[in-house]
Amino acid sequence: MNAISHSRAYMRSMATRNDHLALSKTAREAISICKAAGFDLVILESAGVGQSDASIVDYCDLSLYVMTPEYGAASQLEKINMLDYADLICINKFDKPGALDALQDVKKQYRRNHQLWTAKEEDIPVVGTIASQFNDAGVNELFDRIVKAIQSKTGIAWNRTVELPEGNSTGKTQIIPSKQVRYLSEVTEAIQAYDQWVVSQSTIASQLYQLEGAGQLLENVKAIIDEKSWNCWPIWSWEISN
């Protein structure tokens, strides 16, 4: 983010200077400056200090709450205020174990908070994403929902050049299945096992080569003994007996 250098994009990081604030005191003035500079879209990210801070909704037309599956027990969701105020909810790192359970728990909590008992599953604005994965279906769905939510709340319609598939894409098969999150370790273990097998086979081959050589030597010695025994049996016999 700090490497952004383009006439159409500007990024500024501001410290809160307070342990109990998610936003800087100058956030509103900074947004006004960006508006005056002619930027079409201003994205404000809070520090995310905990469960009770929802002050960002006072600064934004559209609020997005990003969380991960590791929030603890389902009862902890009742303490997250942003589930009451956020227009969209994103569960990132969706490739981690328990992500599908987290998605269902968050959707249930969102239904309770907003009393959407009869709402369709695809109408609940909760999306699972894997931001580290290129062309992730969840990220594409989240982008589509954000664009539609901005148009619905502000009346601003953006012309999109990329058509995304309709419907909920959360839970589609990923490039790396969740059961194979240890794939790099498995690759390393397979390579180490192969190296050990190569060493053992090399040792066996060396031993077989040595045995073959020893056998050849015995054959040569036997041939010499037979030759000497044939030419001078009495002397050889005497030497053997002594």
189 is written with which tokens?
């273990």
Phi, psi of 119 (to 5 degrees): -70, 145
CA atoms within 13 A on the CB side of 158: 16
pLDDT digits (tens, 9 = 90+) for 211-221: 988 888 888 88
pTM: 0.63
6 pairs with which residues across the strands? 9
pLDDT digits (tens, 9 = 90+) for 114-169: 888 888 888 899 999 988 888 888 888 899 889 888 888 888 877 766 666 554 55
